[in-house]
Amino acid sequence: MEMQQIRYFLAVCDKGSFTRAAQSSYVAQPSLTQAIKKLEDELGGELFSRDRSGCRLTSLGRLVEPTLRQIFREAQAVKAEAIRFSRLNTVPLRLGVMTTIAARHLSPFFADFQREHPHLELELVVDGEAQLLRQLDEQTLDLVISAPTLPPPAPLQTLSLYQERYVVVFNDQHRFNQLPAIDLAAIQAEPYLDRLNCELRETLRGVCLGRQIDLYAAYRSNSEDWILAMASAGIGVALLPEFNVPKQAERLKWRYLSDPDIRRTVSAIYPAPNAANPELKPLLAKLQVAF
């Protein structure tokens, strides 16, 4: 019996559905289903009965649920104590930052925080949102800074930090440099640089469909640096969050997207119990007033 199997079992218990349990656990549903099946094989019977409305615990499932829940709680407590023990001398805070969050807007904050709390070490893990939230769930991260398009599942808490508007980025010789503002329809006539990591990519696609606008993707990349470099070279135009554009970018200009006005909210995400941790408490306090 593996801890992951127990975690998936409890997720199905709490969500009442294999689909919702997989979503809340940040795992593909076939993987979750396979783990539950292995657990059922070990315990000698089915744990859930499924119907159109979802799934319910079988008699065996109801029998083992309290014990498995207690095992999971105790394992989490042991893990937390072990982590705390390893932090006796210096206390590393492990923070996840979503790939598309600009370093230039957050790095001054982290510099100020570390000057105020020199005994704390900061470890920044940069990755996609789904991977970071999975690590947060596994308690290998203390907090994640992201721009979620949907509210994170309980028991995660969200602290809104700041909003940033989306801007149109282009070469300094581009015709857009003569315009005071640029709307989505104007971009349609230009080669478009598609950001594959954009968290609002599907939102933008829906807006374009509603307005019958077709953005021709001349290039696609999951790298912000490459998108900016291609825009600077005059290959095409791109849509980016405003803080992702360097202040002193050679041969690069930008304007706010005027119609529609697209924004994202950057937030700190953390499990509710973490708010009481003495290591994380001062960081959360500073985040609440810094932006």
pLDDT digits (tens, 9 = 90+) for 228-240: 999 999 999 999 9
Q: Is residue 88's pLDDT more than 60?
A: no
Output the furthest CA–CA distance in the chain (Å, rounded). Answer: 72
pLDDT score of 50 more than 90: no
Per-residue confidence band for 62, with pLDDT thresholds at 50, 70 and 90: very high
Phi/psi at 149 (nearest 5 deg)?
A: -90, -20
State whether 169 and 259 are in the same domain: yes
Give strand ranges (E) for 19-81. 48-51, 54-57
Q: Is the Cβ–Cβ distance between 199 and 100 less than 8 Å?
A: yes
What's 239's domain CATH number? 3.40.190.10
Identify whether 260 is preceded by a cis peptide bond (ω within 30 of 0).
yes
106 phi/psi in degrees, rounded to 5:
-100, -30
Lowest-confidence segment of 3-7, 68-72, 136-140, 263-267 by average pLDDT: 136-140
User: What percentage of the chain carries pLDDT values higher than 70?
Assistant: 97
Would you mind telling me the total number of residues written for the chain in this entry? 291
Residues 9 and 79 in one domain: yes
Q: Residue 35 and residue 8: Cα distance in Å, rounded?
A: 7
Residues 169 and 242 in one domain: yes
* Boundary residue ending a domain (85, 117, 146): 85
**Mean pLDDT across the stretch 208-215?**
86
Residue 185 is inside which H or E element, if any? helix 184-187
Q: With beta carbons less than 8 A apart as the criterion, state whether 145 and 106 touch.
A: yes
**Virtual torsion, Cα 41, 45, 49, 50, nearest 10 deg:** 20
For residue 289, give both structure tokens.
């007033």
Tell me what the pLDDT averaged over the chain comes to: 88
| Whether residue 81 sits in one domain with residue 61 | yes
Both 185 and 259 in one domain: the answer is yes
Total number of domains in the chain: 3
pTM here is 0.68
Strand 237-241 to 48-51 pairing: unpaired
Q: What is the mean pLDDT of residues 239-262?
A: 89
Task: Kindly indicate the confidence band of residue 76, based on its pLDDT and cuts at 50, 70 and 90.
Answer: confident
Q: Does 173 share its domain with 242?
A: yes
Range of the domain at 177: 164-264
Query: What six digits make up the tokens of 51?
Result: 């119907």
| pLDDT at residue 276, rounded to an integer | 81
Name the domain boundary from 56, 85, 114: 85
Residue 129 has phi, psi (to 5 degrees) of -60, -45
Domain boundary among 63, 85, 107: 85
Structure tokens at 280: 């994380």
Rounded to whole angstroms, how far apart are CA atoms 250 and 229? 10
Tell me how crowded residue 109 is: count the other CB atoms within 10 A of its CB: 15
Residues 57 and 18 in one domain: yes
Looking at the structure, tell me whether residues 233 and 97 fall in a common domain.
Answer: no
Can you give the CATH number for the domain in which 31 is found?
A: 1.10.10.10
**Domain shared by 175 and 247, yes or no:** yes
For residues 189 and 234, state if they share a domain.
yes
170 and 38, same domain (yes or no): no
Q: Given this model, what pLDDT does residue 35 score? A: 93
Residues 248 and 170 reside in one and the same domain = yes
Other beta carbons within 10 Å of 259: 12
- Residue 91: predicted pLDDT: 59
Long-range CB contacts (< 8 A, 24+ apart) of 106-110? Answer: 106/145, 109/286, 109/287, 109/290, 109/291
What distances in angstroms separate CA 266 from CA 27, 161, 276, one per listed residue?
Answer: 24, 6, 22
**Which of these, 176, 161, 193, lies nearest to 291 by C-alpha position?**
161
Nearest by Cα to 215 from 250, 264, 182: 182
